[in-house]
Structure 1
C-alpha cells in the first residue's frame, strides 16, 4: 500500500472549522487593542524617581517636558544627550525618536510647575514645557464596558424575540404562534394504513376522509360536504396516534400535528392566539388536516371548576377552538382529527355535529386483530421457526397494540440476554411472565411457614376455579415470588362482551378461595389476600351500584358516564340507600367466601395434595390439576389452546387483571 495515498485520505478526513462571521469582529477587536498598546508612549518609557528626575534636570539633558492630562510628565531627552551611556541603557526595543524616554509622576501640578520655573531660572535650563489632554480609547472602553455589555445583551434578546434566534416557539414576540409540526411534500410521513394492523372499522372511517381529500368530486357531485372533524376515542395504547400518522402518510396534503398541551401557556391569551395562528396556517394550505393529540388538555367541560376558581385561560382557548372549527366565517377545507382517552370530560359543544361529526371508537383488539398486530411488530425481529403467532394471540386477551409491541421487544431482550441468535417461542412466553408478574425473584428468602401458607393459598385458588363452572380455566400456579407478589395464579379468561351475574359470582368465589383455604387449613387468615379483597370489593360494588344486579337495590345504576358526578359534593342516593348498598356488598362477599369454604371442604384431600405438590415443584400447570382432579366437570365451550409443546407456559390475563390473583 502506498503511504502517500494513506496520508492523502487521512487529510481528507480532517474536518476544517467552518467560517463564522463573528471571526471578523474578533480580528478587528484584537487589532484595535494591539494598536492602542503599541501606540501608547508609556510602553517605551521608564518611570523616574524624584532623585533621578532632579539629576537629569540638573544635567540640562531634557529637551521637552509634556504634561499629559495634568497627571503625568513625559520626559523627552535631547538628541546629543541620548548618546550618553546611561540613556542608551534605558532605551527599550519599542523606543522611537518621537517618543518620550521617561515619564514622571509628579503629584500636584501647581507645585510641579513652580518647581520647574524656579529650577529653570536658577540654573538657566532651556527645556520647553507643554500641557496636553490625551484620550485613551482603551480606558474609555473599560469605563463604558458595563453599558456596552447591557446594550449587547439587549440587542441579542431583541434578535431572539424578532425571530433571529433558534426555536420559534420559545421567542417572546412569537409566543402566540402555533407550535404545530407541519408535514408536507418536503417532510413526508412514511407510516401508511398497511402499518396499522387491526382497527378495521376505524380505518374505514378515516380512510373515507383521506379519499375525500384525494378525490372530492366523487362526494360533492352528490351534494355531500367534507366532514369537519373526527374524534378518535379509546383506551391508552390502542393505536389512536398511529392511525393519525397513517392518515398523514396517506392523505398527501399538508398535515399539522400538535398536542393539546401545546396551547397551554402561563401567559394570558396565548392559547387562543395559537389556535388562531394554527387555523390561519391550515387555511392558507387548504385542503389540509390538523391533528390534536390528547385534546382533553384544552377541551374539558367549561364551568365545572368554579370551586377552585376555574381556568379562564383554558376556557378561552377552548372557545377559540370552537369558533375556528365551526363559527360564523368558517368555510374552508380544513379537517380536524383529535385523539383522547377521556371523552367523558370533553365539552358538549366540542362533541356536537359540525365540529366533530364522527366519533370513532378505537377498542382493544380481538383475537384476529392481535394476530395481525403481532405480525407487524415481529418484522424487525430474527425469529426462530418454533414461534406460533396464533398461539401468542390466544395467550394475550386484553392486550393493546402498545402492550403487544412491548411484549415483542421484551422477548427480543430476553433472547439477547441468553445469547441466542434468534427469538424463540419460549422467549415470548417468558416475556409474558415478565410483563404480567414482574421479575422472578428466586433468591428471595421466605420462611417455611410462610411458604406453606402461600402454597395453600394458591392451591385454594386453583381448586375453586377448577370446580366452578364460570371461572376462567387455570393455566399455571406458582409460589415463586415475582415483582411485589409472593405467588400467583394465571388463567385464560373468555373474551366476553357481556358478563352475567353467575359469572361474576364464580370469579369472586375463586378469588376468595385463597383466603378460604388459609381459614380452612390453619384456622387463621393473613394479610396476603389484599389484592383479592380489593378486587372482589370492586366487583361487588359494581354489581350493586353500576350494573343493577342486586335485588334489594333493583334496576338502578349510580354510574354517570358523563363524568359530571366527579364535581358534585352529594351522592346520588340517600344515606339509607348507602347503608343498604354497604350491607349488600358485604353480603355478596361473605356469601362467596362461605361458598369457597364449602367447595374446599369437599375437596380438602385434593387441596392438600395440590399444595404439597406446589411446595415440591413450586410451579404446576393444568396437566398437574388434571392428574389430581380429573377433567373439569363442565363442558368447556372454548377451544383448547394449550398443546403438548406449550403446556409448561403461562397466559396473559385480561386488561383489568380480573382473572389474575397475586399476593
Structure 2
C-alpha cells in the first residue's frame, strides 16, 4: 500500500457508535412489523355493485367485519383461478389465505340484512364474523404524548449529567453521581513546572514542600510528623493560583485530580455529596495523589447564612460531605487537597481549621522584581525589538497581576501586527499599557476647541501639582486623547510602599484635586470633568478618618470590620457620623485650597504646559523638566548627597 493511501485511511473518520441509532432501529422495526403483518397489502377496495356481483356468483368463502365498518372478503380457493382474480393473486404482496377485497359498507345493520337476504335468495354458504381490531400504529399513537415526555426527560438528563451517548463516566444518567474530576497521570502528564511560574517565591516554597511530602513521605513521618491534608491558595484574581497548582502537578509526578467547585453542584439532591465521595475514593485508590479544587467558594461558603433555602440545602450537604472526607481519610493515604479561591472571607470556618486545610498560602500581587520575572517568561515567544526595556515595563505596571502582564504582552504583539511591524518595539508595550489601563482610544469622539482647552488645563493642573509635591507619584505621561470613559489622563509611577503616612496621602489628594483647581484659576469656572477625581479623594479621606485613624478630631479609632459582619450595622452614633462628615469635608477642602495656592504661584508655567499639551496632545516627563526644572525636593536631595561625599579630612579641617 502506498503512503498516500495510508494517509487517506488515517484521515478517514472513525466509526463512532451512537445510542440514538438503537432508537431509530426500534422505530423502523415497529413500522415494518405493522406494514408486513397487516396481510392486507394486496387487498382492493370495491364498490357496492362489485360486492353484489361477487356475492351472486357465490365466490365468497368468508366475510370478516372489522370494527363494525369495514368488511374483509376472502375468496374460495377454487374461485381464485377465475380471470378476474388471477392478476391480484399473482401480486408479490398477496399471501395465501389473506383477504382479496375490502368493502366499506357504511351502516352495519343494513349490511347484515342485505347479506342474510342474499343468502336466502341465492342459497349462499359463506361464513361471517365480527372482529374488533386495533393496529399497533394506533396503539403507539395513543401513547405518543407519554413517549415524547419520556424522550425529552431522557434528553435533558443526559445533557445535565455531562455528555452524550457513549460519553462514559458522568455521561450517562446512572453515572450522574460520579466525580467529574479530570485525571492527570503518567498517560496525560502535566508539562507545567515551577520554571514556568515566575515570581511567587514565598508561595512556591510552600507548595514545593507539599511536592516533597508526596515524593518522600518517610523523610517527614520518620520523625513522627504527619503529612498535611490540605493547602488553600488565597489571593486576588489573576495572580497565578491555578498555575501554581498545575506546577505542583507537573513537579510531583503523582496522579492529579483537577476540578472546579461548581462541578459538584447539580439540581438533584444528593448528587454533590455523591461526587465528593467518588472523588476521594478514586484519589485513595491512586494514592499518593493530589486533589485540586479551583474556586472552592462555590461549595465552601459559610453554612447557615442563606435562610431562604433552609437547612436542607444541597450546597451545604456537599460541603458537609467534603468536611467529612477531608477529616475522615487517614494521613497514611498520602492524599493532599489543594484548593484555590479569591474569596477566603466567605469560606466556612470548619473548612479552614487545622486538620482540613492546614496551610493557607497567600498569593499576592507581584512586586516590581516579580513583575520583571513574569515579563521575562511572557516575552520569550515574542519577537522583540532592541529598544524593549523590561525593567521599565515592570516599573510602569504597578498593581498588575500575572494575568494582566500576559494580556499586556499579547496586546503589544497585536498592536505591532496592526501597524505591520516585523518586531515588537518598546512603544508598543507602552501603548498596550494605555489600552489596558485607559481603554480604547476614541478617535471619532467630537470635542469642541473650548472643551479641549478645559481638558488640557485640567490635565496640566494634575501634572503641575504632582510635580511640586514631594510625596505625590512622579509623572510619566499626560494626554488629552480620549480613552474609554475619560477625556484625558495622566500616568504616574507610584512608589510601592508597604505603609503609607498621612503626608503621603494628603499629597496624593492634593495632586488629584489639581485638575479642578486649574479650571478654577484659569477659567474661574468648574466643570463635571472632575467626577472621578472627587470620587477618589472622597474615598481616600473617608478611609483616613474611619479606617486608618489618621484624623485628630475623630481620634485613634477604626470603624472597619475585617470579618464583614457589620455590612448592615452602623458602627457609630449620629453625632459621630456628623463629625466624620465634617472632618472629611474639611480635609478635602484644605487640599483643594493648597492646590489652588500651588497653581497660582506657577500660573505661567501651567499655561505653557497646557498650550504644549494642546499642541502635542501627549507630553512626557522630559517636557515637564524643560518647563519646571527638576522637582524641588529632588534638588535638595542632590545637595545633601554632595555634602555626604565630602572627605572626613576636609570636615575636620573646617572644625579647626
Give the counterpart of 1:62 among 59, 62, 65. Answer: 59
Q: Give the TM-score normalised by the residue count of structure 2.
A: 0.85
Alpha-carbon contact 1:61-1:78 (below 8 Å) kept: no
Distance in 1 (alpha carbons) for counterparts of 2:438 and 2:17: 58
CA distance in 2, matches of 1:28, 1:555: 81
Q: Does 1:588 align with 2:587?
A: yes
Q: Please say if residues 177 and 274 of structure 1, whose CA atoms lie closer than 8 Å, have aligned partners that are also in contact.
A: yes
Deviation at 1:400, TM superposition (A): 0.8
Which stretch shifts more, 492-501 or 381-390?
381-390
Equivalent residue number for residue 648 of structure 2: none
- How far did residue 7 of structure 1 move? 9.7
Looking at structure 2, the residues matched to 205 and 638 of structure 1 have their Cα atoms a distance apart, in angstroms, of 41
Map of 2:570 onto structure 1: 571
Q: Using the TM superposition, give the Cα deviation of residue 177 of structure 1 relative to its aligned residue in structure 2, in angstroms.
A: 3.9
Q: What aligned pairs does 1:238-257 form with structure 2 within 5 A after superposition?
A: 238-257=239-258
Structure 1 gaps, min length 5 = 640-663
CA distance in 2, matches of 1:151, 1:180: 34
2:183 is paired with a residue whose SS is: strand
User: Match of 1:143?
Assistant: 139
TM-score by length of 1: 0.84
Residue in 2 that maps onto 1:130:
127
Residue range with higher mean Cα deviation, 88-97 or 292-301: 88-97
Change in 2 beyond 3 A, CA 1:46/1:493: same
- Please say if 1:103 is aligned against 2:102: yes
Deviation by residue 1:81-102 (Cα, 9 ceiling, x = unmatched): 9555x66787774467866554
- State which drifts further: 238-247 or 5-14: 5-14
- Over 3 Å counting, the alpha-carbon distance change for 1:356 and 1:623 in structure 2 is same
Check conservation: 1:73, 1:106, Cα contact below 8 A.
Answer: no
Q: Which residue of 2 aligns with 1:342?
A: 343
| 2:614 maps to 1:615 | yes
Q: CA deviation at 1:306?
A: 5.5
Summarize the Cα distance change of 1:325–1:37 in structure 2 as closer, same or farther, 3 Å threshold.
closer
Q: Say whether the 8 Å CA contact 2:233–2:361 is kept in structure 1.
A: yes
Name which of structure 1's ranges 40-49 and 30-39 shifts more when overlaid on structure 2.
Answer: 30-39
Q: 1:282 to 1:416 in 2, by over 3 A?
A: same
Q: Which residue of 2 aligns with 1:376?
A: 377
Matches within 5 A, 1:530-545: 530-545=531-546
CA distance in 1, matches of 2:496, 2:575: 38
Q: Higher relative CO (CA 8 A, sep ≥ 6), structure 1 or 2?
A: 1
Cα displacement string for residues 600-629 of structure 1 (whole angstroms, at most 9, x for unaligned residues)? 000011111111111121111111111111
* Greater alpha carbon shift after TM alignment, 371-380 vs 381-390: 381-390
Displacement of 1:364 after TM fit? Answer: 1.3
Closer/same/farther in 2, CA of residues 347 and 104 from structure 1, 3 Å limit:
closer
1:236 matched to 2:237? The reply is: yes
Contact 1:180 1:258 in 2 (8 A): yes
Q: Are residues 1:601 and 2:600 paired?
A: yes
1:551-576 Cα shifts (integer Å, max 9, x gaps): 1222222222222222xx43222222
Counterpart secondary structure, 2:632? coil
Deviation at 1:136, TM superposition (A): 7.0
8 Å contact kept, 1:75–1:104: no
Could you say what secondary structure the match of 1:472 adopts?
A: coil
2:492 and 2:357 map into 1 onto residues whose CA distance is 41
Contact (CA 8 Å) 1:61, 1:81: kept in 2 or not? no
Q: 336-345 or 278-287: which moved more? A: 278-287
Q: How big is the shift at 1:390? A: 2.2
Counterpart position of 1:49: 47
CA distance in 2, matches of 1:121, 1:313: 81
Query: How far apart are 1:280 and its partner, in Å?
Result: 3.1
Q: Quote how far apart the aligned CAs of 1:231 are.
A: 1.6
Contact 1:65 1:128 in 2 (8 A): no
Contact 2:476 / 2:620 at 8 angstroms: preserved in 1? Answer: yes
Q: Secondary structure at the match of 2:585?
A: helix
Q: 1:82 to 1:417 in 2, by over 3 A?
A: same
- CA–CA distance in structure 1, aligned partners of residues 554 and 250 of structure 2: 53
Aligned partners of 2:162 and 2:170 also within 8 Å: no
Q: What CA deviation, in whole Å up to 9, does each residue of 1:11-49 have, x standing for no partner? A: 986658667787688668657755764665543343222
Say what the alpha-carbon RMSD is for the aligned residues: 3.7
1:450 positional shift: 1.1
CA deviations over 1:49-107 (Å, ceiling 9, x no partner): 2223333444x3625343354641415278679555x6678777446786655433344
After superposing the two structures, state which structure 1 stretch, 268-277 or 541-550, moved more: 268-277
State the distance in 2 between where 1:22 and 1:327 align: 43
Contact 2:200–2:366 (8 Å) recurs in 1: yes
CA, structure 1 residues 447+185, in 2 after alignment: closer, same or farther (shift >3 Å)? same
Separation in 1 of the partners of 2:476 and 2:420?
Answer: 29
**Shift, 1:199, TM fit:** 0.6
How far apart are 1:250 and its partner, in Å?
A: 1.5
Whether the aligned pair in 1 keeps the contact of 2:80 and 2:89 (CA below 8 Å) is no
Aligned length: 629
Identify if the C-alpha distance between structure 1 residues 220 and 16 changes in structure 2 by more than 3 Å, giving closer, same or farther: closer
Corresponding residue for 1:649?
none
Distance 1:422 1:315 in 2: 54
Where does 1:516-555 land on structure 2 (aligned, <5 Å)?
Answer: 516-555=517-556
Contact kept? 2:226, 2:331, Cα under 8 Å? no
Taking a change above 3 Å as real, the CA distance of residues 551 and 307 of structure 1, as seen in their structure-2 partners, is: farther
Moved more, 498-507 or 302-311: 302-311
Inter-partner Cα distance in structure 1 for 2:636 and 2:294: 42
State how far apart, in whole Å, the 2-side matches of 1:82 and 1:632 are: 124
Given that residues 75 and 103 in structure 1 are in contact (C-alpha distance below 8 angstroms), is that contact kept between their aligned partners in structure 2?
A: no
The farther-off stretch of 573-582 and 212-221 is 573-582
